[in-house]
Amino acid sequence: MRGVIMNAPGEVVVAERPDPVIVEPTDAIIRLTATCICGSDLWPYRGTEHADHAPMGHEYVGVVEEVGADVATVKPGDFVVGSFVASDNTCEICRAGYQSRCVHNVMMGGIGTQAEKARIPLADGTLVATPGQPDADLIPSLLAASDVLGTGWFAAVAAEAGPGKTVVVVGDGAVGLMGVLAARQLGAERVIAMSRHADRQALAREFGATDIVEERGDAGVAKIKELTGGLGAHSVIEAVGTQESLLQAIRSTRPGGHVGYVGVAHDGVALPADELFFAEVHLLGGPAPVRRFLPDLIRLIWDREIDPGRVFDLTLPLDRAAEGYDAMDRRTATKVLLTF
């Protein structure tokens, strides 16, 4: 099969890879219908993370081709969506709703789903079948549920977005935009998107942002305070992962408020404990337990109540994946869909 390999930072190729086979009786093999490039794929692309002939990709939708002997909930022919972390969905951590930290978790990035086929471990706990074969126009939205929508949704839930709440979203990448959509769906009264790019501001408004703040850092915090009677927001979604954005999120939150952080933090990001002490805010974040939300997200997409697929602004065939990485690296694309 064909699949994306990152030979070294900045060097992406589409190469022949061995077809996946059932290894464990709990595995399924899927043929991908679509896959995509994640903002987190840019970390190795830019050399911030190690990359040495690594298979790439962790987002996926597709059709089950084969299942192991112990798989009971999906069968060949089913159209399925799964999380970027495989989970058994039965351990104590999973049952509490934190499937991304399942005691048996498998990061799909290690398997590499920017490929024609993929082995999905723990298929019963990981995959959710759609009610039938989806119309073609639903594929991008179902794919978004695999990570970027599920992650934005988790951030909004962690930030306790809901009726009567003012929600601030720090970060106007694909996850931040999905956070806007999620906050609105969860009933937030006001959703303030922090963005200085006209195209992303427009998309944020389409997804339900009521206000746009262009300032960042201390000036951004001051603007949020000004818009919230000097108190700060009830709920803040952080979707970047840098020191500046995390502090901006915490400082934009009122005492007693909630921060949901899903931007992947890297080495060197450290929060001052004295400031955290007096901020008196709730902090919850990490790799999103997408599996918790998948059944609801699939239903909302299937019933055409949400259209998160609009977050993809460039579609390329898999063979041109390198162009997709380049476009996201140069920020000429927000999120790239790869087709077969």
- Cβ-contact 194, 168 below 8 angstroms: yes
284 contacts Zn ion (rule: CB under 5 A): no
Q: Which positions from 110 through 139 interact with Zn ion, judged by CB under 5 A? A: none
How many other C-beta atoms lie within 10 A of the C-beta of residue 225?
16
Report how far residue 145's alpha carbon sits from residue 251's, in angstroms, rounded to the nearest whole number.
30
In the complex, the smallest distance separating the C-beta of residue 98 from Zn ion, rounded to whole angstroms, is: 8
Give the per-residue SS3 of 75-113.
Answer: CCCCEEEECCEECCCCCHHHHCCCHHHCCCCEEHHHCCC
In the complex, the smallest distance separating the C-beta of residue 72 from Zn ion, rounded to whole angstroms, is: 16
Binding residues for Zn ion, how many (CB under 5 A)?
5
Q: Is 237 helix (H, G, I), strand (E, B) or coil?
A: strand
Residue 221: C-alpha distances to residues 181, 214, 226, 243 (Å): 22, 11, 9, 14
Report how far residue 215's alpha carbon sits from residue 168's, in angstroms, rounded to the nearest whole number.
13
Q: Which positions from 29 through 48 interact with Zn ion, judged by CB under 5 A? A: none
User: Which C-beta is closer to Zn ion: that of 102 or that of 259?
Assistant: 102
User: Which C-beta is closer to Zn ion: that of 59 or that of 88?
Assistant: 88
| Residue from 59, 70, 68, 122 nearest 91 by CA | 122
**Site map (CB under 5 A) of Zn ion, residues 166-205, x = contact:** ----------------------------------------
In the complex, the smallest distance separating the C-beta of residue 86 from Zn ion, rounded to whole angstroms, is: 10
Q: Which positions from 139 through 158 interact with Zn ion, judged by CB under 5 A? A: none
Q: Which positions from 62 through 101 interact with Zn ion, judged by CB under 5 A? A: 87-88, 91, 94
Candidates 6, 34, 102, 288; binder of Zn ion (CB under 5 A) is: 102
Give me the half-sphere count of Cα atoms (radius 13 Å) on the Cβ side of residue 240.
18
In the complex, the smallest distance separating the C-beta of residue 93 from Zn ion, rounded to whole angstroms, is: 5
Binding site for Zn ion (CB under 5 A): 87-88, 91, 94, 102
